[in-house]
């Protein structure tokens, strides 16, 4: 049997759990905190594969193994690797309190509505985008993805709570800092978890399902759901296909360029993505902010004209381009060169389609498109109905091909 014990956040290793072990595996500080049985093997966790091999050798001989881990080892912990290698039936898991639960407890906050994301050995951008989009996020950090890196990538608008050495009565620290303050410090190796909070919304509401809020009941909302000027808004039929091609999701960053009312940015945010709306008019900026507030989402609003206004923004996963004008090819090209996944372009003018298509393909994206023509039911006098045709719209989308194994090797 392989006994997995969670410790390190205030919960000591239960008496006797290590006493009969033939092999004890764990981090150095966990091993130093227990008295090993005479003759027992000891492995300090580093690379996981050699440790798993050693555990297998002992377990296959019927010798008891104890694995010491931090907090709840079934929560972004070693239980997954052990269960995949040896089968869940061979594990006796004794969880401690996770660092996430402990950190929120130190603040007196509920965390059933928190998004928990791991940046340990993973791309930090997913955690950054989750922090941009959601009011309550816990980030499990790692080398090269700690509070300083998170703060530098995140910018303003959030409070960071850095919890270090949780459960250690002598060294535990829970510090509230701005992202800029976090970016300016060396936090060492004792960080347990970083909480990223929108203080105005941290208490949250009563929940039925844990985790981020339930996905919206509907999308491609009617134009009446948004403030707009003279019907200058992406119509819901066009928005429906645009959203399907953008594929916004938790951890993504989406640009809405030439945002107008910001309807696409708001819908992407409702679906869990971090959204940036770029708009050149001052009244448009105010409408976007009002629409985001009305739908209870965060949209980062940039006042400027693309493509210059795109400088300094983090690279997006997906981009929607809804504006036009002579600069359209340059705007589409700038977006296509930086988008990680896809660019969607809505066009009312036939003359601009070839240039937009060329800008997508020249940036290495595979381009497809469709002409959308729709007619809506409209009442007539005498209790009859007619079809009212909407202006046709070209929708182009460019998708970045997956990297080949040869390209990935380079």
What pLDDT is attached to residue 297?
A: 92
What pLDDT is attached to residue 36?
A: 87
> Mean pLDDT in runs of 10 for the chain (410 residues)?
85 80 89 86 90 93 92 92 94 92 94 92 93 94 93 90 90 94 93 91 73 82 91 91 96 96 96 96 96 94 95 96 86 97 95 95 97 92 91 95 58
Task: Decide if 210 is inside a domain.
Answer: no
Do 135 and 25 share a structural domain?
no
Do 345 and 235 share a structural domain?
yes
Query: Could you give the CA distance from residue 360 to residue 335 in angstroms, rounded to a whole number?
Result: 9
Do 263 and 404 share a structural domain?
yes
- Give the pLDDT confidence of 175-189 residue by residue, as tens digits: 999 999 999 999 998
What pLDDT is attached to residue 68?
A: 92
Query: Could you give the CA distance from residue 55 to residue 393 in angstroms, rounded to a whole number?
Result: 62
Please give the DSSP secondary-structure letter assigned to residue 64: -
Domain CATH code at residue 141: 3.30.950.10
The residues with which 318 forms a beta bridge, in sequence order, are: 254, 342
What pLDDT is attached to residue 10?
A: 65
Do 144 and 57 share a structural domain?
no
Query: Could you give the CA distance from residue 394 to residue 362 in angstroms, rounded to a whole number?
Result: 19
Do 326 and 242 share a structural domain?
yes
- Give the pLDDT confidence of 99-141 residue by residue, as tens digits: 999 999 999 999 999 999 999 888 899 999 999 999 999 999 9
Residue ending a domain, choose from 97, 131, 149:
97
Range of the structural domain that residue 191 is part of = 100-201
What pLDDT is attached to residue 407?
A: 45
Do 252 and 162 share a structural domain?
no
Task: Decide if 215 is inside a domain.
Answer: no
What pLDDT is attached to residue 216?
A: 84
Residue ending a domain, choose from 78, 97, 116:
97
Do 124 and 68 share a structural domain?
no
Do 336 and 278 share a structural domain?
yes
Domain CATH code at residue 46: 3.40.1010.10
Do 287 and 393 share a structural domain?
yes
Do 47 and 16 share a structural domain?
yes
What pLDDT is attached to residue 27?
A: 87
Do 175 and 80 share a structural domain?
no
What pLDDT is attached to residue 307?
A: 95
**Residue 293 CA neighbour count, 13 Å, CB half:** 8
Do 371 and 266 share a structural domain?
yes
Domain CATH code at residue 257: 3.40.50.150
**What's CA 146's distance to the chain center, in Å?**
16
Domain count along the chain = 3
- The number of residues making up the chain comes to 410
Task: Decide if 218 is inside a domain.
Answer: no
Task: Decide if 42 is inside a domain.
Answer: yes
pTM of the model: 0.87
Task: Decide if 216 is inside a domain.
Answer: no
Task: Decide if 267 is inside a domain.
Answer: yes
User: Residues near 318 by Cβ (< 8 Å), separated by ≥ 6?
Assistant: 246, 247, 248, 252, 254, 255, 339, 340, 341, 342, 343, 344
């Amino acid at each position: 049997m392989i006994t997995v014990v969670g410790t390190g956040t205030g919960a000591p290793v239960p008496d006797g759990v290590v006493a009969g072990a033939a092999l004890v595996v764990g981090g150095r500080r966990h091993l130093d905190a227990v008295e090993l049985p005479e003759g027992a093997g000891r492995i300090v966790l580093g690379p996981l594969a050699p440790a798993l091999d050693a555990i297998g050798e002992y377990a296959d001989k019927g010798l008891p193994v104890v694995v010491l881990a931090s907090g709840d080892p079934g929560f972004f912990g070693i239980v997954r690797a052990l269960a995949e290698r040896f089968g869940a039936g061979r594990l006796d898991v004794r969880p401690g309190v996770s660092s996430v639960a402990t950190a929120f407890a130190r603040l007196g906050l509920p965390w059933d509505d928190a998004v928990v994301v791991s940046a340990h050995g993973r791309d930090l951008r997913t955690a950054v985008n989750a922090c941009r989009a959601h009011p309550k996020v816990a980030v499990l950090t790692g080398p090269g993805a700690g509070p300083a890196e998170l703060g530098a990538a995140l910018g303003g608008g959030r409070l960071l709570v850095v919890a270090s050495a949780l459960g250690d009565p002598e060294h535990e620290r829970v510090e509230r800092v701005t992202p800029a303050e976090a970016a300016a410090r060396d936090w060492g190796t004792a960080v347990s978890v970083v909480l990223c909070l929108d203080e105005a919304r941290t208490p949250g509401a009563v929940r039925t399902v844990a985790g981020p809020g339930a996905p919206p009941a509907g999308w491609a909302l009617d134009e009446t759901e948004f403030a707009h000027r003279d019907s200058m808004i992406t119509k819901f039929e066009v928005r429906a296909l645009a959203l399907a091609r953008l594929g916004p999701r938790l951890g993504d960053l989406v640009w809405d360029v030439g945002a107008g009312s910001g309807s696409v940015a708001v819908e992407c945010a409702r679906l869990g993505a971090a959204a940036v709306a770029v708009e050149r008019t001052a009244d448009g900026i105010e409408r976007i902010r009002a629409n985001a507030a009305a739908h209870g989402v965060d949209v980062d609003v940039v006042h400027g004209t693309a493509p210059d206004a795109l400088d300094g923004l983090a690279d997006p996963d997906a981009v929607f381009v809804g504006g036009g004008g002579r600069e359209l090819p340059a705007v589409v090209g700038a977006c296509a060169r930086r988008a990680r996944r896809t660019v969607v372009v809505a066009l009312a003018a036939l003359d601009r389609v070839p240039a937009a298509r060329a800008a997508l393909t020249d940036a290495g994206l595979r381009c497809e498109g469709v002409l959308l023509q729709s007619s809506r039911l409209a009442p007539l006098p005498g209790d009859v109905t007619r079809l009212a045709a909407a202006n046709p719209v070209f929708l182009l989308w460019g998708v970045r091909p997956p990297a080949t194994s040869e390209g990935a090797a380079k």
